[in-house]
Copies of this chain bind each other. A is one copy, B any other.
């Protein structure tokens, strides 16, 4: 237990390598872990895609775990709000959790608006520094289409001024500059989206070994 006199609070700690390695776990499961990071506007279809992809991969025998704004916000991040600072901490923690799952050799599927480029890039860096696969998938849907869908009625409330800092309306969404995969969810069917993701994962060697 370190002292508390340095700037970085948790000091004098070292990564515990443990005797069972990530490679051992990958061999046990017959799969490589990785993070599939879906980003896009509210209503762009991230969660629908995540659920459909998870079903397909599970049927192939691939262990996935899906993290989304709703279940994470009710648990570990229930002490965070929606200010810019809290959004950044929200995404940071999620990136760290994905990294743990990948280290456990699970395919982590995260679906969060994650509007800030820097926050997403930080998650990528966290993974890359540990040699863990991270793929940014831009679920690209025109705002007008997402707003028309408005599955939770949130755009309507945001337009009415009832929700401050709503991404796409009163808060920015910073598009990925160089996503690993882009899905035009306003043009493609769900099946087409899932097929593109499955092909992508195969190319990356992430599906069953």
Contacts and interface: CB of A to CB of B under 8 A. Distances in A.
Nearest to A55: B19
Nearest to A108: B104
Contact of A4 (B25, B52, B81, B126): B81
Nearest to A6: B81
Given A4-B81, A97-B97, A113-B1, A13 B164 contact: no
A28 B63 contact: yes
Contacts of A4: 81-83, 164-165
Given A3-B164, A16-B70, A99-B75, A104 B63 contact: yes
A51 B20 CA distance: 8
Q: A interface, how many residues as a size bin?
A: 35 or more
A101 B99 contact: no
B82 A13 contact: no
A75 B51 contact: no
Nearest to A65: B104
Given A19-B55, A100-B97, A80 B24 contact: no
| Copies of this chain, count | 2
B69 A19 contact: no
A164 to B, nearest CB: 7
24 contacts: A1-B82, A1-B113, A1-B166, A9-B79, A9-B86, A10-B73, A10-B74, A10-B81, A13-B70, A14-B74, A16-B68, A18-B66, A20-B64, A28-B61, A29-B63, A65-B103, A65-B104, A75-B100, A75-B126, A76-B97, A93-B93, A101-B101, A104-B104, A104-B106
Of all A-B residue pairs in the complex, the 4 with the closest CB atoms, nearest first, are A76-B96, A10-B73, A9-B81, A65-B104
Given A19-B55, A20-B58, 17 more contacts: A1-B113, A2-B163, A4-B82, A4-B164, A4-B165, A9-B78, A9-B80, A9-B81, A10-B77, A10-B81, A13-B69, A15-B71, A28-B58, A63-B105, A65-B104, A76-B92, A100-B101
